[in-house]
Chains A and B, each alone.
Chain A
Amino acid sequence: MDSDCLTLLPAVCLVLADPKQSPPDDTSLEKLLDWFKELHSQSDEQVLLQHQPCLKEFISSVCASKTTDPAILSFTLKLTGLLAGTKQGFHLLEEGGLLVCVFDREAWCVCDLWEDASVRSGWMQGLLNMLKHRQALDFICQKGLIKVILQLQNDRSLFVACLANQLLVHILNFLTSSNMTNGGNAVGSSESSLSPDWVSVSTEIMTGEVEALSSDDHPRVLQGLRLLSSVTSQCGEPIRSMLWKDVLVPLEVLINRGSESLTQPLMSVLQAAVRTPLLGKSEYKVEKLLEAMLGSGNKKESFQCAALIIKLEKCPEVLKRKAIDIILLPLQCVSAQSQDTEKMNLVLKEQLSHKASCISLLMQSLSSLAELAYTKYQFDGIPIHSVTCSVVLLLRICFGNCPSSLLYINTSTHLIGCCKVQRCGLDTLGALSMYEENVDLRKDIFSVLLDYLQSPDSHATVLKKTYQATVRWIAVCSPFPDLLHFISHDLFPVLEKRTCDLRWEVRDSTLEFITQLTVALNGNIGFIEALHTSGMVSVLLSSLADAEGYVRASAVAAVGEAVTSSFQQTVLVSNSNLLEEALKQMMTILSQDTEGFPRRAVVKAFTSWLKGSHLVTAVHPSLSSVLSLGGNDFDWEVKMHTLELAEVLMEKTLTCCPYAVQNFGSSEKTLLTQALSKLKEFGLFDLLFNCLFDCDRPVCEKACALLLKLRTLISECTDFDYALVLNLNGNRWGDEVQSRYLNKQARGSVCVTNGVTASDERTDSDLHCIKDISLPMILHILDLDDMQRTLRLSSDHVVNSARSLMEDILSAAQQSEENTVDCY
């Protein structure tokens, strides 16, 4: 393939260098560059430039042209960098003076092109590509390019500025890499010393950095901070500590000045520092700086900072405690029962009195709390009970149902009906179920959750969050006997009403919740009894006829789980009716539903039933219909799910057959044959072969994989009985197998010994009369391995090749020429 491409390359270069041609789109150029990169990495120091002189010509003609398009110039810059990435390539380009021509913009014919951001970005990308050996760095330093890069840090294009930072980090890293010390090739950030030759380079960059941080120009400070955090996280020693020492003073100034817009970038610098050994060394003051950022909760940015500190993985415990104290302040203030206003600082008061800041503060507080709860953080000095009560109270305030006069009546008007805080609060409440000591509060918690579930004004998304929190709490409280009372007396009536909700989203999440509940309380006899005696099951069954496809799908899943649970407690529940009704309705859905989701859900329900141990025999009668309906579905995902069902069925059926045992006795052979005939009865082979020739690639792939498994299994069974034959007639796949069989026969590569039975002598003319072929034979005829190989390639692998890309470029050029002629 590559050789094909290389022959096309000179023509492509000509087209690209031709200023009369409009350049191909950016994506094509990027793809072309990718191909070069791949070629370059494969070439193993073998220099592409030597074999392809057209490249040098292309570069020089682009540089010499006065009408070069910026896109082409940018491409050329990147390409040149790439080619100069090896020492040999570098020399070849330097010899001709091409390198200077390309990277020294003074040498360009058109200086205006530098104004184009894509050119500046290409220039830096080129340098990045090139910077893989010492000579490249020499070149950059000698030409004074560091200065240009430092200037580009403040470029008006964000992409360019970001790239400049990246390049500076790369240069700093490169100074300490093994390339510089022993001439190796790898770029790494392992600790090493800085050779004295390069001190000036690092000093230049670091001075630039200090200047940026001390600047009054906000964007410049911002870029400086970005570079600092990249260097801190990406560069090794000694660069990191050298820079950190230099910037410490301006950094402290910035932190103490306390500008809200710099909080985020300052925190990312400190975040990066925390992850490095700098944290442990007092001279670098990382911890001190973090503390200064945090203040004592009396600055606007304290809360944001506290939220960020809590997210740090390696954070000094003292600092974390302090951050937690601060982040919980808004929550505690809003839900404070006492009139104790003195504790509250002015900043917080001010922030809570404005709706927008009040909401964002509380959300920060709640989400940080949730984050801590998920890790089961042990709060020292703050009882988890009181925190949980605050969250419950806040949820009540948001509901407009606040029990007593509050500190901030104003705050409550901001919060009543505020979906954002409600959702966040419910998430946090759910997370707080991690603490066992909270189960004492379950009565309050379930009551507030129930309020949300009952309220006609609860937004669909709020209800969804309520369900999530409820499932968590129910799972935690399952051992308590009062839970069942709550479920059957309070929860079920609400759920019944919610399954009739006007909004399909609510009906859907209600059914999903019931499914999750059934799964979570799997094995809880009391719950299963309540579920089956409360009329919930008939509610679920009637939801199978919902007008919305998603809801029907969720109803199918819920019914599926209900059936499963009923079979676990056969003694308790008379379930024959439920299974019968469920099967009847589900088969109707699978055969008649106009939407894919419910049909997929039906197949999935069967798969899950089959995976369980109780239901296998009960659903057997329906399996062949499911396999045939699912395999012939229009929706490829239904087919995929059907194949998954087939896989489980194969496993279940074939595990009865101890094929892995070495010494096969005749009885064992028979067992495998029996199992296979059983699968044949289910129509499993029809399904697999049909899917193998399906129009959807993933379906074919899956079917192929299953057939390969089957082939392995049969081949392991040394003395397989060939009596299992499949009928080819009347099947889509039958014709395919027949034609392949014919092909193979024609090539004489198949030696039919047994397994093919036909009534007459087999000649070319009557081969289509072959009706029955044995399973192993079919598996043999089909070259499954080759099929799998082809199927693994993505469906656009032909269109996506470099060759087709080049052909496209060439044909586009040709067309535009033709069009030019047409115009005259």
Chain B
Amino acid sequence: MKLYCLSGHPTLPCNVLKFKSTTIMLDCGLDTTAALYFLPLPLVHSPRLSKLPGWVSKDGAINLEKELKECSGRVFVDSQPEFCLPEKELLDLSTIDVILISNYHCMMALPYITEHTGFTGTVYATEPTLQIGRLLMEELVTFMERVPKAHAATCWKNKEIQRLLPGPLKDAVDVWSWRKCYSMQEVNSALSKVQLVGYSQKVELFGAVQVTPLSSGYSLGSSNWIIQSHYEKVSYVSGSSLLTTHPQPMEQSSLKNSDVLILTGLTQIPTANPDGMLGEFCSNLAMTIRAGGNVLVPCYSSGVIYDLLECLYQFMDSANLGTTPFYFISPVANSSLEFSQIFAEWLCQNKQSKVYLPEPPFPHAELIQTNKLKHYPSIHGDFSSEFRQPCVVFTGHPSLRFGDVVHFMELWGKSGLNTIIFTEPDFSYLDALAPYQPLAMKCVYCPIDTRLNFHQVSKLLKDIQPLHVVCPEPYTQPPPAQPHRSDLMLELQPPPMAYRRCSVLGLPFRRRYERIHLLPELAKSLVPAEIKPGVSVATVSAVLQSKDNKHVLQPVPKPAPVPPSKKRKRVIEEPPEVLNPKPLLSGAVPLEPFLATLHKNGIMEVRVEETADGHILHLQAEDVLIQLEEDGTHIICDNNEPLRTALRDLVLRFLQKL
């Protein structure tokens, strides 16, 4: 059993598990942080961004004016943003049988894997994962396609040139594997390969293994997976949460007794407690609005935003900010808000029960009804005429490189009254803000990451007791910025197996058993003999048939009736041993009684020698050696067949026969 690690990212995993005869990809997360090296794509013509100077090396030797622009003291690539894909060279992607998706954030690289690679397998995901994943992909494609760029910058990627560039571009890794965003057509084709599954549904893969999604409590339809055969169990824990937010709570008990637990998707900000951050978010928001400023929240169009809106729904009235409008701007804003209301069965109990009242499970329905929350596909159109300040705007993309958020940064960045509040933990907020410097607007970093923290995970592991844990390397050491925080790492016994990008791990357990079925007629013919209380043994002669990874013992087909011939009689007499196989022996030969028996049979002179494995008896008069060992008895007796047979029979008296 092997694990191929195509991504080292702790929360955007992409691993391939070879288990029995199957090749299973676990998630395919897309690392979008590479976009931070690129210039923002403005929706409205930005004089500032369009007039940036091109980059020329100090000595003038390298001129990349067209590709690189200097902005706020840093150099950015002026091209359509690109993303870092999972490793494609480590193994042949066309050999992958299935892809298991755990949540919509971990499937964004799907089109890169399923299209143009020869992939012919199936993708398994829950319905909300598919639908919301589609929305996020659609949004990403729209963001990119709305602002087309004529040329793709590639010269800077040249190794010789790249090493001469100023940091952080100089230090970017694997730049040649970066790809620009996929198209809508590729998205549709990739998603057409998805087969929907429900929680706890058992899916057979080629009869070899069974995979089951379990609720993971992180987002709508998010799941952990159990991959098991009859004798082995591998659990795959991706983004999971034990907090009470909108999704169904995490199912833990089914993860018990795993041979291997692959653990990914822990919180990225272990020091930030989501409750504290939510409080921080609300108080900064209230402070800004009270002072007459606007609040910009760069966020994904699904996920934490539902919880934020719910929290604000209660907070705004209590903070006396009831009239402040919220705007949610995204090409998929409407669908996201509506989808959240229809997946009732995937929600926590509290929200599920609302549906029976009947009431919408999320209070943002009421916010929309009372006109407090308005959503628009883009800043163009209705929004520009209905826009009222001060307000709170939720919009993407959290990298601040594309999407409507770029416009708001240009619009509000110059005033100290406004505040930008970062809630998504995926991007470093300082890097995200780099092309907008100098910035007068206040910046608040309140990353809300509801995924498991180290404290919760160590409790969970204590509870479910897996034999081995496999995890990304960063989990095995304290965060680099806080080397003294030994509480922010996994400390397990045995220590977890760590992986990084391109690791290939041999998982530390051997398959020892396989289940074989007996056909009833064969079972009927067995004659069990009890060898010790509760254990019976029978010999069986049968034909083993293996098909679709299922093994069946069938009765030996009767030999085809031999055409009658003269030699018939001889044929029957010839192989008596085959019809009556020698009995199987079991038990041990006890030394003292055996010596007594020898004595009784006239063998007087026996010298007993103790060895590491048993005893050697030297029958001195006969010059015979008998080796009595735990799993064998040897009689060494030259040229005296009658004596050997006699001795053999004496030994056999002490053994049980089957």
Contacts and interface: CB of A to CB of B under 8 A. Distances in A.
A405 B287 contact: no
Interface in B290-325: 290, 311, 315, 317-320
Contacts of A500: 282-287, 290, 319
A502 B283 contact: yes
B553 interface: no
Nearest to A535: B291
Contact of B484 (A402, A498, A501): A402
Instruction: Give the contact-size bracket for chain B.
Output: 20 to 34
Nearest to B314: A502
B279 A456 contact: yes
A412 interface: yes
Contact of B276 (A456, A504, A545): A456
A510 to B, nearest CB: 10
B271 A400 contact: yes
Given A500-B319, A501-B283, A502-B283, A457 B276 contact: yes
A503 interface: yes
A456 B484 CA distance: 21
B486 A547 contact: no
Contacts of B277: 456
Contacts of B67: none
Nearest to A546: B320
B484 A546 contact: no
B487 interface: yes
A405 B276 CA distance: 27
B446 interface: yes
A498 B285 CA distance: 12
A413 interface: yes
Interface string B600-625: 00000000000000000000000000
B283 A497 contact: yes
A438 B271 CA distance: 32
Interface in B464-519: 482, 484-487
Interface in A131-186: none
A370 B528 CA distance: 79
Contacts of A726: none
B320 to A, nearest CB: 5
A405 B484 contact: yes
B197 interface: no
A336 to B, nearest CB: 15
Contacts of B286: 500
Interface in B208-243: none
A455 B279 CA distance: 11
A501 B279 CA distance: 6
B278 interface: yes
Contacts of B487: 412-413, 416
Interface in A397-414: 400, 402, 404-406, 409, 412-413
Contacts of A496: 287
A545 B271 CA distance: 34
Chain B at the A interface: mostly helix, strand, loop or mixed? helix
Contact of B318 (A404, A416, A498, A547): A547
A548 interface: yes
A341 interface: no
A406 B484 contact: yes
A457 B320 contact: no
B287 A545 contact: no
A815 interface: no
Contacts of A546: 318-320
Chain A at the B interface: mostly helix, strand, loop or mixed? loop
A456 B446 contact: yes
A542 interface: yes
Interface string B244-280: 0000000000000000000000000001110011111
Contacts of B317: 547
B278 to A, nearest CB: 7
Contacts of A497: 283-284, 287
Nearest to B276: A456
A472 B482 CA distance: 32
A145 to B, nearest CB: 59
Contacts, number: 64
Nearest to B483: A405
A501 B281 CA distance: 9
B276 A498 contact: no
Given A456-B273, A542-B290, A545-B320, A413 B283 contact: no
A456 B315 contact: no
* Candidate in A405, A416, A504 with the most chain B CB atoms within 10 angstroms: A416
A502 B284 CA distance: 10
B187 to A, nearest CB: 38
B484 A502 contact: no
Given A456-B272, A502-B315, A547-B317, A400 B283 contact: no
Nearest to B446: A456
A503 B273 CA distance: 15
Nearest to B286: A500
A457 B311 CA distance: 17
Given A406-B484, A456-B276, A498 B290 contact: no
Nearest to A406: B484
A409 B484 contact: yes
A413 B290 CA distance: 39
Contacts of B290: 500, 539, 542
Interface in A178-210: none
A502 B320 contact: no
Interface in A497-529: 497-498, 500-504
B278 A502 contact: yes
A790 to B, nearest CB: 46
B283 A498 contact: yes
Contacts of A501: 279, 282-283
A539 B287 CA distance: 9
Nearest to A496: B287
B444 to A, nearest CB: 10
B310 to A, nearest CB: 13
A296 B180 CA distance: 72
A497 B284 CA distance: 6
Contacts of A498: 283
Nearest to B278: A502
Contacts of B285: 500
Contacts of B283: 497-498, 500-502
Nearest to B491: A413
Contacts of B320: 542, 545-547
* Candidate in A496, A501, A504 with the most chain B CB atoms within 10 angstroms: A501
A46 B590 CA distance: 102
B280 A456 contact: yes
A539 B289 CA distance: 12
A455 B273 CA distance: 10
A412 to B, nearest CB: 7
B275 to A, nearest CB: 8
* Candidate in A412, A455, A502 with the most chain B CB atoms within 10 angstroms: A502
Contacts of B482: 400
A698 to B, nearest CB: 33
A459 to B, nearest CB: 9
Contacts of B279: 456, 501-503
A441 B246 CA distance: 47
B318 A457 contact: no
A547 B319 contact: yes
A582 B28 CA distance: 60
* Candidate in B272, B282, B317, B487 with the most chain A CB atoms within 10 angstroms: B487
Interface of B: 271-273, 276-280, 282-287, 290, 311, 315, 317-320, 446, 482, 484-487
13 contacts: A400-B271, A409-B484, A409-B486, A412-B486, A416-B485, A456-B273, A456-B446, A457-B272, A457-B273, A497-B284, A546-B320, A547-B319, A548-B318
> Which A-B residue pairs are the 5 nearest by beta carbons?
A456-B276, A547-B318, A500-B286, A500-B283, A457-B276
Given A400-B482, A409-B486, 19 more contacts: A400-B485, A402-B484, A404-B484, A412-B484, A456-B276, A456-B446, A496-B287, A497-B284, A500-B285, A500-B286, A500-B290, A502-B311, A502-B315, A545-B320, A546-B318, A546-B319, A547-B318, A547-B319, A548-B318
